[in-house]
Amino acid sequence: MRTTSHRQCLECGMFVARHDVSCPKCDSRLAAQTDGSSFTCDIAHHGERVHEAINRLDELIELATADVTAQIRVIVGAGAIREGVYAALKGYRQRKQIVAFKQDGNNTGAVLIQVRKA
Ligand SMILES: [Zn+2]
């Protein structure tokens, strides 16, 4: 994940500011651009309490939204964190801040969060 304050327009290659909604050069809608990438993060196996795991989830979604990430894979374990994460993700989907989320295949301890349409 890039951490600079600038990003590049994937249509024309122009460097644009993170807060730009559309590219000043080619008018492409930057917020919708994705390079199809995904990353995995474990938020349940370092002794996190539920509210700490949810805070981490909020950070991950914010990071992915500001970048060109298509999908986040979050490891949520099997207990209260998992339930909390699913409840939080329902809110995100209702507010249209994410596209969709679902369990990762047969792995009940992992959730796939689709941030943008690939
Ligand atoms: Zn552009």
Cα of 27 from ligand 1 centre, angstroms: 6
Place of tokens 């730009």: 20
- Tokens representing residue 29 in the block: 């809608």
pLDDT band at 5 (very low <50, low <70, confident <90, very high): low
Task: Say what the pTM is.
Answer: 0.86
Please provide the distance, in angstroms rounded to a whole number, between the alpha carbons at the two ends of the chain.
17
Cβ atoms of 57 and 74 closer than 8 Å: yes
**How far, in Å, from the CA of 29 to the mean position of ligand 1?**
8
Q: For each of the domains in the chain, give its residue range(s) and CATH number, in order of start.
A: 1-33 (no CATH), 35-114 (3.30.1370.110)
Distance CA 114, CA 73 (A): 9
Residue 112 has pLDDT above 70, yes or no: yes
Enumerate the β-bridge partners of residue 111: 74, 103
Enter the tokens of residue 19.
């807060």
Mean pLDDT of 86-115: 97
